[in-house]
Amino acid sequence: MMGDSQQFDFYQTGYSGYYVDNQGRTVAFYDRDEAQNTQDPFMEQQYTGEVYQPTHAATYGETPEDEPPLLVELGIDFDHMWQKTLTVLNPFKPADGSIMNETDLTGPILFCIALGVTLMMAGKVHFGYVYGISAIACSGMYILLSLMSSLTVSYGCVASVLGYCLLPMLVLSAFAVFYSLQGVIGTVLALLAICWCSFSASKIFISTLAMHEQQLLVFYPCALLYGLFTLLTVF
């Protein structure tokens, strides 16, 4: 126990402090009670039990059931393909510009392959001609429509429309497997197929590209294109 002659100089700073004894030495001490009530800013925050929730929403839906099918994500939509096919089969049906403006090449590729197969069944192996004429025609129509339309023209859209409108020519080629088209009936059917394909293609182009007063100008190059396919089918 310290005597009365001992004098202490005490200094308090926060929860720690120090004092000077009678011999001039500095002695530090620690206040435990106050230190427990004081929070260290560098201590880690305690776990609150809350689960992390992402701030961004899902792209296609809240649940996996709302997500589109895999084929739709790959650009293959059978419902849109069926609607485009019906639009071609019915030339007087108004075309849906939002659907026709899609770059869908699945249907056109299938129609081109089917046309080559039907020609081969008729004894005419013209796969190279079908693909070559299709590629050159798509490029030519793309350039022509880009010059005629004030809207932006997509090469994939042009190829999609020309490919879907090849369906009446495919029917004519399938008919040629069982019946010769080198006659009056064959000529009438060939002209009907050309007009059918060309009218459907021009109708879709003017609906998609807002060219309602230029259907005849679009009809003419389409008729030249499908006329080449008719020559492959008939002769």
* 84-130 pLDDT tens trace: 888 888 888 877 766 667 778 888 999 999 999 999 998 888 889 99
**Amino acid of residue 178:** F
Label residue 2 by pLDDT band (50, 70, 90): very low
- Mean pLDDT in residue range 161-181: 92
CA dihedral over 141, 230, 128, 199, signed as positive or negative: positive
d(CA 98, CA 112): 24
Which one is predicted more confidently, 5 or 219?
A: 219
Domain regions of the chain by residue span: 103-234
Which one is predicted more confidently, 52 or 217?
A: 217
d(CA 52, CA 61): 19
- Mean pLDDT in residue range 42-57: 49
Kindly give, in sequence order, each residue whose CB lies less than 8 Å from that of residue 75, ignoring residues fewer than 6 positions away: 103, 104, 106
- Mean pLDDT in residue range 12-36: 55
Which one is predicted more confidently, 171 or 45?
A: 171
Q: Which neighbouring-strand residues pair with 26? A: 20
| Amino acid 8: pLDDT | 44
